């Protein structure tokens, strides 16, 4: 009996010891995993004027937070203070990369093999920290967005004429052939049928009369000629054809005020070679001068491929006085939706002295902003997971091999979801099933877009009824009009962006959150004054 009790006691002690061992190992592992990965100088060696800064970026499994001590000339210390990266994989970068960056004083050090995503997160977090201290990341070879090639700027008033796509067909047959394949994207969905609330939200503006989804570049000229929207001035040709782009470059902004039908006689090509290369294929040249202005000093910090696409895929407006195509930002930092809306709402930015409006809703009196297609601002905006690693061309212009062995970038401009080779060789490094992930995001965003759109429609009808009743003063209704204007701006920023949330789900959700909150605030404000 006593022997049995002794055996049981020994077993219990062994069990307790094993449990304590496992617990201690777990605690130690957790402590080691979460210990700061530090590289750099001691406090006594760091100049008194250096800044202590913190930055965060998205890693593979969650946020990676980095603390640095730096000034304009040197990064003195780097600490990775928090992360959720996989032990033995992502932690390799956590342990090794700070020392490499400190040693080289450069963010251009190679990623740690097998831990690319974590390496990029650490670099992006350091960039964010530097920016928080108003220190230029470029001082250390860093940038928020991928930069491999710097674009050229078009030479204006040079007397050149446009060389059209057909002029280059023989010399660049592969590029020409794939460019012509944009004609395969021939389907034109009717947004007014797919989104019934648009007739109310855009009431009083051309988009309430005719609004079809954009097709391939092959159809740009054909579609604008066929649209039911009125276009009295030539500025409506912006981004549709290189022939008008060159006209602006030669004449200046006076070209925007020309008669639309007169310019139509001069149009030959839709978006084609000159748009992105001027008359020098193989070299990316930004040919839209308003886009050069829109990037300001940041022009040379953004890869040429992004700038080539972004010069058309952006949020623009026509200046009230000159009718010139204009952008509501002049740097990467000022292109966030919040700041662009603040720009539009500040009357001092416009010759009229009033907040900008594309039109006024005839029933509500709301001075509305019609957002265009802010793919550039969305993809390179805050929250983007891929802006530091990929360009538009990386995802939409895959490298192809011709029959003679020549490699070239396809100009067909396809969705990455339709490129199995890209998904297998590149996307699969981080995404187990990219297609499923993207479609789930798009379905979720689409559902939210419909939901908030109908809330805006309800608000619009409530405002219209209030105006028609004559029971309310402008002093009572103007604050609600202002909320409705801002709410629709945020909603439209999402609706007209062509990726349905895939380019930047974080920013997209933030815009919809703002639209919904402002809409509800307006509805509640209306209820408070209802008579």
DSSP code per residue over 45-85: GS-TT-EEEEEEEE-SSSEEEEEEEE-SS-EEEEEEEE--P
Q: How far apart are the two ends of the chain, measured CA to CA in Å?
A: 90
Average pLDDT rounded to a whole number, residues 349-376: 96
Q: Say if residues 505 and 450 touch (Cβ distance below 8 Å).
A: no
In terms of pLDDT, which residue wins out, 189 or 29? Answer: 189
Q: Band of the pLDDT at 31, cuts 50, 70, 90?
A: very low
**Domain chopping of the chain, boundaries:** 1-35, 38-140, 152-429, 434-529
**What confidence score (pLDDT) does residue 3 get?**
56
Query: What's the CATH fold of domain 152-429?
Result: Flavocytochrome C3; Chain A, domain 2 (1.10.1130)
Query: How many Å apart are CA 442 and CA 430, to the nearest integer?
Result: 19
Domain 434-529 top-level CATH class: mainly alpha
With 70 as the cut, is the pLDDT of residue 24 above it? no
| DSSP line for 74-137 | -EEEEEEEE--PPTTTHHHHHHHHHHHHHHHT-TTSPPPTT-HHHHHHHHHHHHHHHHHTT--G
Query: How many Å apart are CA 294 and CA 298, to the nearest integer?
Result: 9
Say what percent of the chain tops pLDDT 70.
92
41-87 tens-digit pLDDT: 999 999 999 999 999 988 888 899 999 999 999 999 999 999 999 99
pTM here?
0.80
Query: How many Å apart are CA 259 and CA 231, to the nearest integer?
Result: 9
With 50 as the cut, is the pLDDT of residue 428 above it? yes
Q: Nearest-CA neighbor of 212 among 196, 192, 242? A: 192
> 447: burial class by Cβ within 10 Å (0-12, 13-18, 19+)?
exposed
With 70 as the cut, is the pLDDT of residue 21 above it? no
126-170 tens-digit pLDDT: 988 998 998 878 788 766 678 889 999 999 999 999 999 999 999
Average pLDDT rounded to a whole number, residues 274-303: 94
387-423 tens-digit pLDDT: 888 999 999 999 999 999 999 999 999 999 999 999 9
Question: How many CA atoms does the CB half-sphere of 359 hold within 13 Å?
Answer: 14
Query: How many Å apart are CA 67 and CA 51, to the nearest integer?
Result: 10
Query: Helix, strand, coil shares of the chain as percentages rounded to 5?
Result: 50, 10, 40
* Three-state SS annotation for 335-402: CCHHHHHHHHHCHHHCCCCCCCCCEECCCCCCEECCCCCCHHHHHCCCCCCCCCCCCHHHHHCCEEEC
Are β-strands 63-70 and 51-58 bridged in parallel, bridged antiparallel, or unpaired?
A: antiparallel
Q: For residue 427, how far is the Cα from the chain centroid? A: 19
Residue 230 DSSP code: -
What is the CATH code of the structural domain delimited by 38-140?
Answer: 3.90.1010
**What confidence score (pLDDT) does residue 148 get?**
85
**What confidence score (pLDDT) does residue 14 get?**
53
**What confidence score (pLDDT) does residue 147 get?**
83
265-283 tens-digit pLDDT: 999 999 999 999 999 998 9
Query: How many Å apart are CA 338 and CA 328, to the nearest integer?
Result: 11
**What confidence score (pLDDT) does residue 160 get?**
93
| DSSP line for 294-305 | HHGGGGGGS-HH
């Amino acid at each position: 009996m006593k022997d049995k009790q002794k055996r049981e006691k020994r077993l219990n002690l062994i069990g307790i010891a094993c449990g304590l061992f496992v617990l201690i190992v777990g605690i130690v592992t957790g402590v080691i995993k979460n210990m700061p990965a530090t590289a750099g100088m001691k406090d006594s060696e760091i100049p008194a004027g250096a800044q202590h800064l913190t930055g965060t970026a998205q890693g593979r499994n969650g946020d990676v937070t980095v603390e640095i001590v730096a000034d304009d000339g040197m990064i003195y210390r780097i600490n990775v203070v928090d992360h959720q990266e996989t032990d033995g994989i992502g932690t390799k970068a956590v342990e090794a990369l700070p020392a490499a960056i400190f040693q080289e004083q450069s963010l251009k050090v190679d990623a740690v093999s097998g831990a690319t995503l974590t390496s990029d997160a650490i670099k992006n977090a350091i960039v964010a920290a530097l920016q928080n201290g108003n220190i230029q990341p470029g001082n250390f070879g860093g940038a928020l967005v991928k930069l491999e090639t710097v674009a050229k700027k078009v030479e204006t008033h040079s007397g050149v004429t446009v060389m059209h796509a057909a002029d280059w067909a023989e010399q660049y047959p592969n590029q020409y052939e794939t460019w012509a394949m944009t004609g395969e994207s021939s389907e034109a969905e009717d947004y007014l049928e797919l989104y019934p609330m648009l007739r109310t939200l855009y009431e009083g503006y051309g988009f309430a009369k005719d609004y079809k989804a954009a097709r391939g570049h092959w159809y740009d000229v054909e579609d604008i000629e066929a649209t039911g929207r009125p276009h009295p001035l030539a500025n409506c040709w912006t981004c549709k054809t290189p022939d008008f782009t060159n006209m602006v470059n030669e004449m200046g902004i006076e070209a925007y005020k020309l008669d639309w039908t007169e310019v139509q006689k001069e149009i030959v090509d839709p978006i084609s070679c000159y748009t992105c290369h001027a008359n020098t294929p193989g070299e990316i040249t930004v040919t839209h001068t308003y886009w050069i202005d829109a990037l300001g000093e940041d022009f040379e910090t953004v890869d040429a491929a992004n700038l080539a696409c972004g010069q058309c895929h952006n949020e623009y407006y026509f200046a009230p006085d000159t009718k010139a195509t204009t952008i509501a930002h002049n740097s990467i930092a000022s292109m966030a939706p919040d700041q662009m809306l603040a720009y539009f709402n500040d009357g001092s930015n416009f010759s009229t002295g009033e907040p900008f409006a594309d039109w006024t809703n005839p029933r509500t009196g709301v001075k509305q902003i019609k957002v265009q297609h802010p793919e550039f601002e969305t993809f390179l905006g805050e929250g983007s997971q891929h802006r530091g690693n990929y360009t538009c061309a990386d995802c939409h212009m895959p490298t192809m091999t011709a029959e003679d062995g020549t490699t070239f970038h396809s100009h067909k401009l396809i969705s990455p979801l339709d490129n199995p080779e890209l998904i297998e060789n590149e996307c699969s490094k981080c995404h187990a099933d990219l297609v499923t992930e993207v479609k789930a995001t798009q379905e979720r965003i689409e559902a939210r877009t419909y939901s908030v759109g109908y809330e805006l429609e309800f608000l619009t009808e409530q405002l219209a009824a209030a105006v028609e009743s004559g029971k309310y003063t402008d002093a009572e209704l103007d604050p609600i009009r202002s909320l409705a204007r801002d709410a629709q701006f945020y909603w439209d920023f999402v609706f007209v962006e062509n990726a349905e949330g895939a380019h930047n789900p974080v920013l997209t959700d933030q815009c919809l959150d703002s639209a919904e909150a402002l809409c509800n605030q307006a509805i509640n404000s209306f209820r408070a004054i209802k008579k």
